[in-house]
Structure 1
């Protein structure tokens, strides 16, 4: 598979704002269309990945006579080259005496082409994706039933500055085409794009999003979309040690799960919790979160999908018994040898489900049965996250071994 990427994202200087548009346009202000002759729109990387706009001329309109200083709203922006975006916040000076807006700037959540034409490929870039499963800076390829995706790591000219400042970096360029090479509506690729973002976020244990897309038909650019994204500063950390060999095989499964009536919303929530687990500062909250995540999987799988237990029985059953049932279904070992490293955990005989639920209960209830050390908490958290990782991989039909920072041993995921 060979997908050409035409757009050179290496040209972007990430210590500066990227100009998206300069020229004429119009705003939707309190329901009125107001024209302006000088609008500038930028993609801002240095502080946070966001879209900003500014007007360099005073905005005048006879309609301003009826405006109230405290109640008028600025909602939409549209450029003369067919871009439209929703304004998420503004700074402005409304001069009631002259009925003018003396200056106006603000932020845009998303801006894209108003008229969407069919294209033969989408090109995009990734921000702060430490790893996409590639090795030695080689391209990596994904396939689903209908789509082919190519990702190419790029060496940004600001790489050294980025490592020092831990700011934001374009780490990969990518391209999406249909397998049958037919042209397509850019919106048709939304599901596979969301699946790719989900999978890369799982691998990197942080939010990975795509800030900009360009759609082409042959060499003509027909479509643009820019998004303000919620990602973290660039910091490389290898977190999955043995999943990368089969990593690309997971994308079709992710796309299917995100589109599934039972699992779609759940998978989004699980990813949020998983990322929170890896960035939380209060270990007690992390232990509570990992149990809630495992409970959600247990409910969805045992009650909703497989109907192995009814709703009332699930609610009345000890959660340790529910987890043992889930672990048995998913071939996850309930025994964790590291429990023996801490004297306060010896009484549990290595029963992972019991200790996870009992320690969680001890955290949330004011009448403490026992005081646990931070080291013991970390051991319990490591077991819980390892089980969550195994459960997610099982649900994605992964087969094989993996190892992460939460497990000192290789863990096996089996579908048999």
Structure 2
């Protein structure tokens, strides 16, 4: 559906409307209030209950209930409780873990609380589309959409061979600024997901796709990020099913990484190749682990040393997968015999990624020159070895490396890791480059180095 802009006369598609929104950072929302039945081995109680979408200290579905029990001993630490709700939610299925319970109660009802791990309604029902709700996804420049009288560039249309997903920024002026100032949580985007051929499907059919979306969004953000609530919609536009899952999500930061909000086609350009790599049985585990190490290395509290080590774990994993399992050009024994620098240099060379010192990284290049290093791959691997194997000789080497050179080495490691993933996903667009000649603030973009070679 589209509407006409009253000022310009242009027709723009309407933004996807969320079923649940947050207008204030860290704004908790009550999702259910009513009767609840808790069932597990040795436990079968009912009571009045509330389920809430809670953000602090970490995003989760939290429940509070008062049950007919005099002691909390049997409840403390209870896992995998089967939860039955009442009313319009009587057909929902949930599992929960108890995290708190009163030791005893002089009242008729005992208060307990905990985390709802999953909450599902009718996943087997046939649906026409799904509305997904995203937490803390960064802003991007996309297609023009309209909400009421507001017109803005806020849609990313992503496609695979099977699915179409239109991710729309929810129009909330200054919301991202408030999220950033508090490193807070909130629902930032809503998306419509449907099959490319228009056929019906079930929420269960999206299970693997949802996990893929979590990792894709996290690689884009440089922080853990993803969708939390999926609403199944039938051909008449009625909500007939839903799945609540709260993945790992970090507080909002305006991270500086490969993704630039000023590059219009970065998400649509990356997504098909990312999904293809994810669906490849040779690559999925390596891609999943690489993004975990990448996001961890990017985290605010991670030291320079640990970031460099984590990036090298990813380099080794990707190199092994590429040469031993994917290309089958090197035997497992042959790969293990290679030095770390040779593995990294060979991988970068095969993927058309330059191995050269950036002109403004004078501290790192100066240290490498003093140590007679062949190239950046040698310098980075030697630093990693010095961190991991703190012999007197390696400690002596580290004493020669200033903090600026180590910071530049971390930047190079993250730069290489981002480019390797982008190359493997066959991304050919522009990206935010960490190693520009001028000071990098996250907005400077350039074409990927492999360009027309892909």
TM-score, structure 2 normalization: 0.81
Question: 2:131–2:191: 8 Å Cα contact kept in structure 1?
Answer: yes
Using the TM superposition, give the Cα deviation of residue 162 of structure 1 relative to its aligned residue in structure 2, in angstroms. Answer: 3.5
Report 1:257-296 matches (<5 A): 257-279=277-299, 280-296=301-317
RMSD over aligned CA atoms reads: 3.0
1:319 — aligned with what?
A: 340
2:357 — aligned with what?
A: 336
2:417 — aligned with what?
A: 388
Tell me, yes or no, if structure 1 residue 91 matches structure 2 residue 100. Answer: yes
Aligned CA distance change for structure 1 residues 225 and 364 (closer, same or farther; 3 Å): same
Question: 1:120–1:181: 8 Å Cα contact kept in structure 2?
Answer: yes
Using the TM superposition, give the Cα deviation of residue 33 of structure 1 relative to its aligned residue in structure 2, in angstroms. Answer: 3.5
Using the TM superposition, give the Cα deviation of residue 3 of structure 1 relative to its aligned residue in structure 2, in angstroms. Answer: 8.2
Tell me, yes or no, if structure 1 residue 17 matches structure 2 residue 28. Answer: yes
Question: 2:213–2:227: 8 Å Cα contact kept in structure 1?
Answer: no
> Secondary structure in 1 aligned to 2:227?
coil
Aligned CA distance change for structure 1 residues 13 and 220 (closer, same or farther; 3 Å): farther
Rounded Cα–Cα distance in structure 2 between residues aligned with 1:274 and 1:384: 10
Report 1:28-43 matches (<5 A): 28-36=39-47, 38-43=48-53
Rounded Cα–Cα distance in structure 2 between residues aligned with 1:328 and 1:161: 43
Structure 2: tracts of 5 or more residues without a match: 2-12, 144-151, 439-445
Aligned CA distance change for structure 1 residues 12 and 79 (closer, same or farther; 3 Å): farther
Question: 1:41–1:53: 8 Å Cα contact kept in structure 2?
Answer: yes
Given the alignment, which residue of 145, 167, 181 partners 1:151?
A: 167
Aligned CA distance change for structure 1 residues 78 and 58 (closer, same or farther; 3 Å): closer
2:120 — aligned with what?
A: 112
2:442 — aligned with what?
A: none
TM-score, structure 1 normalization: 0.88
Using the TM superposition, give the Cα deviation of residue 289 of structure 1 relative to its aligned residue in structure 2, in angstroms. Answer: 1.4
Tell me, yes or no, if structure 1 residue 413 matches structure 2 residue 450. Answer: yes
2:85 — aligned with what?
A: 79
Rounded Cα–Cα distance in structure 2 between residues aligned with 1:277 and 1:408: 24
Structure 1: tracts of 5 or more residues without a match: none
Given the alignment, which residue of 386, 396, 416 partners 1:362?
A: 386
Using the TM superposition, give the Cα deviation of residue 351 of structure 1 relative to its aligned residue in structure 2, in angstroms. Answer: 0.4
Question: 1:132–1:200: 8 Å Cα contact kept in structure 2?
Answer: no
Rounded Cα–Cα distance in structure 1 between residues aligned with 2:218 and 2:285: 16
Aligned CA distance change for structure 1 residues 406 and 91 (closer, same or farther; 3 Å): farther
Tell me, yes or no, if structure 1 residue 26 matches structure 2 residue 37. Answer: yes
Aligned CA distance change for structure 1 residues 301 and 164 (closer, same or farther; 3 Å): closer
Aligned CA distance change for structure 1 residues 401 and 142 (closer, same or farther; 3 Å): closer
Question: 2:308–2:409: 8 Å Cα contact kept in structure 1?
Answer: yes
2:63 — aligned with what?
A: 53
Using the TM superposition, give the Cα deviation of residue 83 of structure 1 relative to its aligned residue in structure 2, in angstroms. Answer: 2.2
Rounded Cα–Cα distance in structure 1 between residues aligned with 2:424 and 2:133: 28
The Cα offsets for residues 255-278 of structure 1, whole Å up to 9 and x where unpaired, read as 222222111111111001111121
Given the alignment, which residue of 98, 123, 148 partners 2:131?
A: 123
Question: 1:95–1:102: 8 Å Cα contact kept in structure 2?
Answer: yes
Equivalences, count: 409
Using the TM superposition, give the Cα deviation of residue 245 of structure 1 relative to its aligned residue in structure 2, in angstroms. Answer: 2.7
Question: 2:141–2:153: 8 Å Cα contact kept in structure 1?
Answer: no
1:398 — aligned with what?
A: 427
Using the TM superposition, give the Cα deviation of residue 281 of structure 1 relative to its aligned residue in structure 2, in angstroms. Answer: 3.0
The Cα offsets for residues 256-314 of structure 1, whole Å up to 9 and x where unpaired, read as 22222111111111001111121253111111111111111111101111111111111
Using the TM superposition, give the Cα deviation of residue 253 of structure 1 relative to its aligned residue in structure 2, in angstroms. Answer: 1.7
